[in-house]
Amino acid sequence: TLTLLAHNKLVMSNTPEVADIKTLLKLLQKLGASYTLENHVLTIDTSTVNDTMANYDIVRTMRASILVLGPLLARFGHCEVSLPGGCAIGQRPIDLHLKAMEQMGATITIHAGYVHAVAPEGLKGAHIIFDKITVTGTANIVMAAALAHGKTIITNAAREPEVVQLCEILRDSGIDIQGIGTSELVIIGTGGKTIDMVDFEVIETNKKELSCDGGKGSLGHPKVYLTFPADSKEIVCPYCSRKYVF
């Protein structure tokens, strides 16, 4: 989703050819992007993106699809993104994302399972303090801040390798960003102007995720996302005791 901030075609080497990546590329293609993926080399052009609605049929299959929210809103001033899992009741995992976007001047409403976000004059820099560390929340706000007007400070930012690389790519592409690798990031936005992004190699991480809902007919088992420990190749679901191995 980082590529949505660019006005040029770029090349990403070492791109994993896994289901989540293919789902995300399908979403970007639906929004108007074009790409090729061969031998783990992704060539993508999002300069032709002209649609700002990320529909449920795609987003529901991948939680990280919500990461189009920040770039689309910052670039176009409006977007509609389906909530992962549809219109869930109660506190949503993306509430931290939405609260931060509102602090940056967006008007956000939720209707029929979609986040409707509008910022007709662009996003404004703000001091975002996350109540808890969120990797996707940090990434979403970093990307939004890159095209925002003025300075954004993110306190209690995630420091995972993928967040660090995201910041490094933006820095190497001309964005003024300080504090990379720390819990406080300071970003000076471009005022709505897309950037000339550098080519890069995707880093490898030990993080593997999957979802478990106990299978069909399993009552009282919420859908949970399990993360494999970095030093382990198996994990057991705390609800149904299923063992997963990779």
Amino acid at 177: I
240 in active site = no
Give the separation between CA 3 and CA 7, rounded to whole angstroms.
8
Cα Rg of the chain (Å, integer)? 18
Q: Tokens representing 162?
A: 């993928």
Give the separation between CA 101 and CA 175, rounded to whole angstroms.
19
Give the separation between CA 57 and CA 215, rounded to whole angstroms.
20
3-state secondary structure (DSSP) of residue 45: strand
Give the separation between CA 108 and CA 85, rounded to whole angstroms.
18
CB atoms within 10 A of CB 225: 10
Collect all residues with Cβ–Cβ distance below 8 Å to 193 and sequence separation of at least 6: 147
CA–centroid distance for 223 within its chain: 20
Task: Name the active-site residue from 87, 167, 237, 240.
Answer: 87
Give the separation between CA 193 and CA 179, rounded to whole angstroms.
23
For 179, left (φ over 0), alpha (ψ -120 to 50), or beta? left
Catalytic residues: 87
